Amino acid sequence: MKAIVVKTNGDHDLVELVGTNPRAEQFARVDTKRSGIHIRSIAVERLTDEDPDLSHLKQSYNEPSITSAEAEKYKIQDDKRLDAYDRGDWYMMGVRATADVAITPKGSSAGTLVTISSGGLWGIESDSGESYFKDVERDELDELEGLLLTIGVPKKEVEKAIREAKRK
């Protein structure tokens, strides 16, 4: 889901949420100063990449800077890594951050719950180090923070929700 500022008049922005989301019952055009936009929860997800690109393990290594002996060595390493993948010893993953956001138009007691997601990073090997996963999670939370601020969620609310983010 993308947020696009469609009008700015000094006091407030009119933001349009654009995209498809199975949990959203409607698209929303929201006046950020006259309506309620509140974060219900933020989560960071580590997901299995169901359609991974493993082409980096199937290279020919036909480059002038690589000797034939080095190329053969790299191909053997790649074959071992692919065999381990085929055995299920490791798999490919993705990481993304999501926020469930309640949007209530002014004067209404009913609203819409939408899930806003960072773009995510895919193609991460499952046996990558925990510190790498933590770095990616921080990057995804930073991206999500920018999206939430763009649609008018108050900065203090965003910062608090990010601190309280859960891992799914």
pLDDT digits (tens, 9 = 90+) for 22-68: 444 444 444 445 458 889 999 999 999 999 999 999 999 989 999 99
Does 129 share its domain with 163?
Answer: yes
Does 81 share its domain with 141?
Answer: no
Q: What is the pLDDT of residue 105?
A: 81
> Hey, what amino acid is at 28?
A
Does 117 share its domain with 41?
Answer: yes
Does 103 share its domain with 139?
Answer: yes
Does 44 share its domain with 117?
Answer: yes
Q: Is the predicted pLDDT of residue 8 greater than 70, yes or no? A: no
User: To the nearest 5 percent, what fractions of the chain are helix, strand and coil?
Assistant: 30, 35, 35
> Which among 87, 110, 131 is the end of a domain?
87
**Digit-coded pLDDT (tens) for 117-168:** 999 999 999 999 999 999 999 999 999 999 999 988 999 999 999 999 998 8
Does 105 share its domain with 32?
Answer: yes
Q: How confident is the model at residue 10 (pLDDT cuts 50, 70, 90)?
A: very low
Does 39 share its domain with 104?
Answer: yes
More confident residue, 46 or 17: 46
115, 24 contact by CB (below 8 A): yes
Q: Is the predicted pLDDT of residue 108 greater than 80, yes or no? A: no
Q: What is the pLDDT of residue 109?
A: 72
Residue range 76-101: mean pLDDT, rounded = 97
Q: Which residues contact 85 (CB under 8 A, 6 or more apart)?
A: 54, 57, 91
More confident residue, 104 or 70: 70
Does 10 share its domain with 76?
Answer: no
Number of domains in the chain: 2
Does 20 share its domain with 82?
Answer: no
**Interatomic CA distance for residues 121 and 128, integer angstroms:** 13
115, 21 contact by CB (below 8 A): yes
> Which among 38, 64, 87 is the end of a domain?
87
Q: What is the pLDDT of residue 16?
A: 47
Does 66 share its domain with 123?
Answer: no
Q: What is the pLDDT of residue 37?
A: 87
> Which among 87, 106, 138 is the end of a domain?
87
Does 29 share its domain with 14?
Answer: yes
Does 151 share its domain with 100?
Answer: yes
For the entire predicted model, the pTM comes to 0.74
Q: What is the largest CA-CA distance in the chain?
A: 73
Structural domain range at position 82: 55-87
DSSP character for 36?
E
Q: What is the pLDDT of residue 35?
A: 59
Q: Is 14 exposed, middle or buried (0-12, 13-18, 19+ CB in 10 A)?
A: middle
Q: What is the pLDDT of residue 23?
A: 47
